[in-house]
Amino acid sequence: MTPLQEAERFVSDRAHFAEDVNYPLVLSLYAAMTHCYQQCLFVLPYVGVRANTDSAGKTRLMQLIGCMCLRPTPLLTNPSGASLLRRIDKDRPTLLVDESEELQKPNSATREIFNSGYKPGGIVTRAQGAGERSYGVYCAKIYGMIGDPDHPLRARSIMVLMEKGDIRVDDKQQVFEPLGAAIGLRLSALVNQNVTAIESTYLGFVNELRSVLPVQRDREIWESLFAVCKHIVPDRLDELTAAAQGISTLKTRPAKRYSDLKQAMADAVTYQYAEQLARDSYQIAKATGERNIHTHTLITELVKSPTWKFYQNHKGVKIGDADGHYVLATMLQRIAGDDSNPKPVKVENQLLRGYTLDWLEKAAARAK
């Protein structure tokens, strides 16, 4: 297995992407590119890892990519502009910035650093005493946020949309980071064997990608990855082309801001509670040995568990909603996807509103 294949497997085993794009290939080439960009002086793409909700895996993906890159920083959460200036100017790292919704603000100091730091020689100037000081801000950057960045930064980024889903390897950061760092060393050796040829190919690009990437800014940010790919895995150029076209096209969708997604994030948390409620309800009904269960009996048993004991009121089991919207039937309906209002069911010769075991089994099966 080649170092690039190792990197692809490392990413694909540990991340779940929202879109059918070959992100493992792209992100592995990005990690390889960070080991030669300072010699080749590429116009750098950034990697923007975004999600529409919390707990979608964006932070984990940033760590997975970062540990394979050149001199990755620790994962920085909403750092100040001043601290970033000093760090980049001193270390020329691969910058990892999470919770970077600050980049969506027009007057953000962090946004200024990102807008200036993708081209060789990029600087940001600050007042110092009676004079000024210029800070070099050119370096590889990977950032994560809920929603999208502003248009200029989005245009300079390879955007990756994450979503909650199953992954094959769910190891801890302390386990996967040494594995990724070892792969990064092998990627570094591979690109540095070919660095002169990579630089020559990059400098020779004159609209070679126009036929596949019609937008000039897209061609600009992808040229470095195509140059690397041509010399370390030339047989994968067609796959990279398809991925670049897909990612560039997806960026034309309307941008979503953090403020636009707050309700979606709240809904995602509620949905996870609803999944647990469906599983618990089915197990309670199954334990009765009956084909049906009355709503009152189900609620009585649910509130005996630590998860639900605080959520009983005159409207049934709910999830902390003062208006009583998230009653038992509504929560189960979120999972089952059809009419889940309790129906008249017969238990021990009584006809009361409740649920059938078959229906609750179906709801539990749909819960991940």
pLDDT in tens, 190-200: 999 999 999 99
Residue scoring higher pLDDT (140 or 101): 140
What's the farthest any 2 CA atoms get from each other in the chain? Answer: 90
CA separation for the pair 338, 347 (Å, rounded): 23
Residue 163 scores a pLDDT above 80 = yes
Identify the structural domains of the chain with CATH numbers, from first to last.
3-257 (3.40.50.300), 261-366 (no CATH)
Indicate the range of 21-25, 67-71, 338-342, 362-366 predicted with least confidence.
Answer: 338-342
Residue 95 scores a pLDDT above 80 = yes
pTM of the model: 0.76
Distance linking the first and last C-alpha atoms of the chain: 33
Q: What is the mean pLDDT of residues 251-259?
A: 75
For residue 188, what pLDDT is reported? Answer: 98
pLDDT tens for 203-245 read: 998 878 988 899 999 999 999 999 999 999 999 999 999 999 9
Cα Rg, the chain, nearest whole Å: 26
Q: What is the mean pLDDT of residues 116-128?
A: 92
Q: What is the mean pLDDT of residues 101-121?
A: 84
Q: What is the mean pLDDT of the chain?
A: 87
Indicate the range of 237-241, 245-249, 337-341 predicted with least confidence.
Answer: 337-341
Residue scoring higher pLDDT (326 or 86): 86
pLDDT band per the 50, 70, 90 thresholds, residue 76: very high
Residue 278 scores a pLDDT above 60 = yes
For residue 335, what pLDDT is reported? Answer: 76
Residue scoring higher pLDDT (168 or 338): 168
